[in-house]
Chains A and B, each alone.
Chain A
């Protein structure tokens, strides 16, 4: 039976320090936002939507977020599962490979994708999607890897297989539902990444939402800050919604809670009754 991994109740003084730290961190993060909010004013919020190019830029970013998430998960989930199950010795190597996109400068990644991408995609916005897939790889891999470590992958796969389940069915009915929290974390990270990415989009000359904000900044600084805040709030809302849904599902089936790089298992069994 798995041991209960509940943290001990912190001592009184540790509690105070926790609040102090939280306060400092809170001020550090909230002060600039509050200042920006004050500068932009609340009235700029409503007029952001009517600015030229706003809708198109946001729509492009949303499309890219969806496409990147779908492609990344479609590639990374089976790959990571396969490596965990069949090539566990390559896990280290895969971990190393997935960290590369963080190490390489964006321009190198762009050139690499341009070399490898089929010609028809090079002039379309989906080129950016392919670049984002590479950019998202480290985050997606770590989230999925954490999820796979939290379940007994081998036993679950073999149990499903002994009951007559093929590969696709095992993946769909057994593994994916139990990786819910991990997939959720991966999705959150990818969406946040795509909605905020500026360098690649700018270099590729696509007006995604972050690029639009910077361009618009030249025309109307107040409105631009308003748009930034709007983007931030929308991203927050999406992340909160994903986390809430994920946590509720996790509670129901007693599985892990969503946090970005780790999946906390609540794999405890109640005492013999």
Chain B
């Protein structure tokens, strides 16, 4: 395979990217609120968040398509804030199909090299190598309209990589594609990125995409980074209730926080990992579906309302006393004996948990909907 491409592309791999207190407002809306982020050379960082959280604005500021009201963009420690997009050497793949309709796949990939005044033969050779890398050598002569959505995005990726970019910017490149192609392409992007060692900033609203591809994920909300961490850490040690509920599935179970650092929940006392801004009194305990255990019990504290088979585990929805609904993952072998309507006892093993101030009942549904 294209060894020369990899060798050449190895050079700019040492690029670091830093955003320092970047703020950007559109009218009265603060799209970015003094955001800071450091991306190590060769790292893939995903910005994850609901729409309107500012993730795309951050990416566009790095690309040079938007300017920050204040703050700096540092590339290898050098301030790039005033450098126009065309001089930033950043490869970008867009959400919408962005191939030039008047050019063949090969000419599209070669475009950036042409702008860099590469000799025709050299740029054609390199464009060919890149098309081979994304598995589209046989489509080199075809025009964008003759390619499927997935193929177009692969050509767009090859085009972005052809210029040996300092940084690769991916703006929800998979969101227009259907599920199967999306999974294939995200694996391809990740393996290419790792092979070339290109520093990459990836924007998505799809947590599965972010968690499966990124070295680190930054969860954003209202123009601020809530937490930047590895996918594992994000899942197991979320820094805020927002992150906890945005990443993966999270139950909120009412509990009573006591001053000694334990919380009374589901009829037992459980240590608290992090109480944050919760004060002793009524709180919500954040629990993952797999942390809860469950057993059939005629005088139990809940009733199974539905079950979803997920392969090795089955997710049961249980309505607890006091009108709280929780989701519990149990081994499918155990779940086979349970039906909707069965009474069960849900318990929480004494592992440290996160607690957060009790959410007012009327806003709970609304906020949960926004999170999803």
Contacts and interface: CB of A to CB of B under 8 A. Distances in A.
Interface of A: 1, 151-152, 155-156, 158-166, 169, 173-174, 177-178, 180, 252-255, 266-273
A178 B152 contact: no
Interface of B: 63-65, 84-92, 94, 96-102, 111-112, 115-116, 143-152, 156, 159-160, 163, 169, 176, 178, 180-181
Given A158-B92, A254-B143, A165 B86 contact: yes
A160 B97 contact: no
A162 B90 contact: yes
A255 B143 CA distance: 10
Given A162-B91, A164-B112, A273 B148 contact: yes
Contact of A271 (B64, B92, B116, B148): B148
A272 B143 contact: no
B145 A159 contact: no
Contact of A161 (B85, B163, B169, B178): B85
21 contacts: A1-B176, A152-B97, A155-B96, A156-B98, A158-B65, A158-B98, A161-B64, A162-B64, A162-B88, A163-B112, A163-B159, A163-B160, A164-B89, A166-B86, A169-B115, A178-B100, A178-B102, A255-B101, A255-B102, A266-B145, A268-B145
Given A1-B149, A162-B63, A253-B145, 11 more contacts: A152-B98, A155-B96, A155-B98, A158-B98, A160-B111, A163-B86, A166-B86, A253-B101, A254-B144, A254-B146, A269-B97
A173 B97 CA distance: 18
A213 B150 CA distance: 59
Given A156-B100, A177-B102, A269-B147, A165 B94 contact: no
B92 A159 contact: yes
Contacts of A268: 145
B148 A270 contact: yes
Contacts of A151: 101
Contacts of B92: 158-159, 162
Contact of B115 (A164, A177, A180, A272): A164
A255 B85 CA distance: 28
B143 A159 contact: no
Given A156-B100, A177-B102, A269 B145 contact: yes
Nearest to A2: B97
A152 B115 contact: no
A256 to B, nearest CB: 10
Nearest to B102: A177
Nearest to B152: A269
Contacts of B64: 161-162
A267 B145 CA distance: 7
A272 to B, nearest CB: 4
Contacts of A177: 100, 102
A174 B100 contact: yes
B145 A160 contact: no
Contact of B147 (A156, A165, A174, A270): A270
A86 to B, nearest CB: 12
Contacts of A166: 86
A155 B97 CA distance: 8
A254 B145 contact: yes
Nearest to A164: B115
Contacts of B150: 272
Contact of B111 (A1, A165, A180): A165
4 nearest interchain CB pairs? Answer: A254-B145, A163-B112, A164-B115, A177-B102
A259 B116 CA distance: 37
A165 B115 contact: yes
Nearest to B115: A164
Indicate the member of A152, A156, A178, A268 with the most B CB atoms within 10 Å. A156
A254 B99 CA distance: 13
Contacts of B65: 158, 161
Given A158-B92, A178-B102, A272-B178, A163 B145 contact: no
A251 to B, nearest CB: 11
B86 A161 contact: yes
B101 A178 contact: yes
B63 A159 contact: no
B96 A152 contact: yes
Nearest to A152: B96
A156 B91 CA distance: 14
Nearest to A271: B148
A84 to B, nearest CB: 16
A128 to B, nearest CB: 35
A70 B203 CA distance: 43
A158 B99 CA distance: 11
